[in-house]
Structure 1
Amino acid sequence: MGISAACRAAVRPVIVGVVLLAATTGCGHDADGPDLAAAPTGVRWQDYQGVAVPVAEQGPTSVSSGVATGFEHSPRGAGLAAINHTIRLSVAPDSQWSGVVNAQVVPGPARDEWAINRVQLSITAAAQVEYAPKLLGYNITEYGAEQSKVDVYTAYSDASRAVNHTTVRWYGDDWRLQLPDPGSTARPIDAIDALPEGIVALEAPK
């Protein structure tokens, strides 16, 4: 049995990612900084719970029981980590979600609260194809060696599009998702009418 309509409604806010204010370098690219617009290389796609997830030369280097780790310490690695973590965290089945959250999310009160909320859901099978979100690309709005902000662009089955605001931190020699503080009022998602110029196109296959 697939994910129920109620579960999809509850899980969708997780997949869109989160925003955390960070003291990092500004966005953009110059001769002295990393190229934030460089696309991942050697991209291939893996199905995880009905959603196409990118795997590239910049990571992840290991995927086991739903857990994806091993991302390059670079803007491309940060972008791939933000995508992988938000998707896997949101659709991991009951048998895998604890491993995913423990390996891919920065520990702290926010992770604990997410786990408490996740216990109240049940996901036992892959998302039905017609409801699976589709990745369109990403944009690194702020990049720092310790923390970066990544906007992830996604299309949904109802033809809507959204930008998902995520934050990743370099923790334990890998990029992990940084969930917002429990009291944060930052919006994790914004609806959009069209994709902005300059994003790193990373469109999932149909």
Structure 2
Amino acid sequence: MFKRRERRIAESGPYYRQRSWQLSAGFLGIVVVVGGIVTMLSGPDTTTDRANAAASEGPLATASGKKDGRPGGCRTDDSAGAAPPRAAPKDVSWRTLGVARVPVSVSAGPTLIQGSLWWCYAHTPTGAALAAHIIPSQMSGSNWRTVTEQQVVSGQGREMFEFQRATVRSTDSQSSGTTVASYVGFSVASYTDTAATVRLLLKSAQGYAATDISLRWSGGDWKVQPDDNGSLHSPVSAVQSTSGFVLWGV
């Protein structure tokens, strides 16, 4: 049964047209799902385009000239090193961001919130994990373009994401009666000083699922590395067990 279900979820074609992406997109911060499939191409978000046509220079727009490589004002505790975390940070709290509730940590980040930018993550696996939760969750709101230019690695993938995202209406808050999946855990699949892959564990009424987020250390902070097709995450796959994941305890 599990294998048949996984084959149904791993669909072909552009990710933003896939039913599994539409069903999972609420908690990944792209669109809100209300009782099933939404119409993705409902019209361009012209208000967002006008508001973000020229995003202002921000702390992550260019590489930092600081000796430690961090933008001014950004300080984190990186003493945990590169060892994969075995437990969630003890200082985690939860905040609503767009259509999702996301974990934040005093020690692992984001330690700075400036307007739509939640940034300054620890240069550690846990810091990468926090960035993997938060940056995609900012993409449902009207400031998505500013976040994209500051916190998504530039290149073909980002250009494709911007083109596709511009066809989707923005949602800055969760609508009444809307049910979306929630973040319940993570694992750090790979980690170096310059790149990381974080696997997010998600839970909805249908059960558990997982997806991978790739990140790069760029401009003194973690940024999402999109695929060339514009996807910010891998295809969502059903999972039967939470074994191997660090659980948030929510």
- Common fold: TM-score over 0.5: yes
Unmatched 5+ stretches in structure 1? 1-5, 18-31
Contact 1:134 1:203 in 2 (8 A): no
Q: Does 1:51 align with 2:100?
A: yes
Counterpart of 1:153? 201
Distance 1:203 1:100 in 2: 28
TM-score normalised to structure 2 length: 0.63
Deviation at 1:150, TM superposition (A): 0.7
- The sequence identity of aligned pairs, in percent, is 25
Q: Quick one: distance in 2 between partners of 1:132 and 1:66?
A: 22
Stretches of structure 2 lacking an aligned partner (at least 5 in a row): 1-18, 31-80
Q: How many residues align?
A: 178
Q: Give yes or no for the alignment of 1:181 onto 2:231.
A: no
Give the secondary structure class of the aligned counterpart of 1:102: helix
8 Å contact kept, 1:85–1:104: yes
TM-score scaled to structure 1, two decimals? Answer: 0.75
Q: Provide the C-alpha distance between the structure 2 equivalents of 1:183 and 1:47, rounded to a whole number of angstroms.
A: 25
Residue 199 of structure 1 pairs with residue 245 of structure 2: yes
The RMSD of aligned alpha carbons is: 2.9
Alignment partner, residue 190 of structure 1: 237
Counterpart of 2:132? 82
User: How far apart in 1 are the matches of 2:235 and 2:88?
Assistant: 24
User: What's the offset of the Cα at 1:13?
Assistant: 8.5
C-alpha change, 1:102 and 1:41, in structure 2 (3 Å) is farther
Q: Which residue of the partner structure matches residue 72 of structure 1? A: 122
Match of 2:185 among 130, 134, 137: 137
- In 2, Cα distance between equivalents of 1:9 and 1:121: 12
- More displaced stretch, 35-44 vs 109-118: 35-44
SS at match of 2:138: helix
Q: Distance in 1 between matches of 2:110 and 2:122?
A: 8
Q: Name the CA distance, whole Å, in 2 between partners of 1:175 and 1:125.
A: 23
2:66 corresponds in structure 1 to none
Distance, in Å, in 1 between the alignment partners of 2:227 and 2:29 is 13
Equivalent position of 2:162 in the other structure: 115
Letter in 2 for 1:172: G
